Amino acid sequence: MSAKIIDGKKVAEITRNEVKKDVEDWVSDGHRPPFLQVVLVGSNPASDVYVGAKTRACKEVGIETDTMRLPDTISAKELKATINKLNKDDSVDGILTQLPLPNHLSAHDVIESIDYRKDVDGFHPMNVGRLTVGQPSFRSCTPAGIVELLKYYSIATKSKHAVIIGASNIVGRPISILLSKEEGEGKATTTVCHKYTKDLTQHTISADILIVAAGQPNLVKGEMVKEGVTVIDVGINRVADETRDKGYRLVGDCHFESVKEKASWITPVPGGVGPMTVAMLMKNTLLAAKSSIYPD
């Protein structure tokens, strides 16, 4: 068998169109357009690419945005003071501090300094905690996008074994919570693997749904998965390729060619999870503007 492709670009376009229509309705009711403030510290080429994609998506759906570029020499105190001003600015609905930050800055401290009601990334402890106990919250964009992909393609999660490789606060842990919760989508049995897991194949071979977010190219090979598995590959890795003009190509955390011969569904890299992450950011920003999660 050869896997069917989970088309993240297609589902992201549908999601953006829904957000665009909702933004138009919101503005036609007399409200100002939602506003997303991006804070970019230093000059990281990868961050510039991600911010550019988010800015283009904002313009497409009618969300206003601005990117505040700060020097990589900024102190933690100065950065927090800047974020605090944005917290108090009623014209700012969502605040996104692009990660990673320079080494002298603590991502945890910066995330906690953002007003959780404007935390459209869904990283603040308040949002993570509320997600854990099943209360309304901003969901971390990548896990939320994964759930939307599974829903769109009617891939059942109830009573399935979902194995997640990677225990980060951004992807691994929140997706394990979303898939295991009893209300709404989810109802799966989840296993979270990480760099300390012994005999990784013992876990991956039993997965009905395998979500790989380890940041290690071609970590999962075809012999590590069972027939019919659904594979969600979150990884985006550059590997050298002299046949390409740029000198590299993008690959996921799975060896696509071997895994697709065993899987029933699989996300490509690029074009799988990545577009959904940006689409869900647009959705969160609209929710922040409407105060749908945290009503005043």
Partners of 163 in the beta sheet? 191, 210
User: Could you give the residue numbers annotated as active site?
Assistant: 54, 98, 121
Distance separating alpha carbons of residues 199 and 196, to the nearest angstrom: 10
| Cβ atoms of residues 150 and 178 within 8 Å | no
Q: Specify the long-range contacts of residues 112-116, CB closer than 8 Å, at least 24 apart.
A: 113/79, 113/80, 113/83, 113/84, 113/87, 114/83, 114/87, 115/87, 116/294
Give the contacts of 88 (CB within 8 A, at least 6 positions apart).
none
Tokens of 119: 């935390």
Distance separating alpha carbons of residues 167 and 61, to the nearest angstrom: 32
DSSP assignments along 162-178, one per residue? EEEE---TTTHHHHHHH
**DSSP annotation of 64:** E
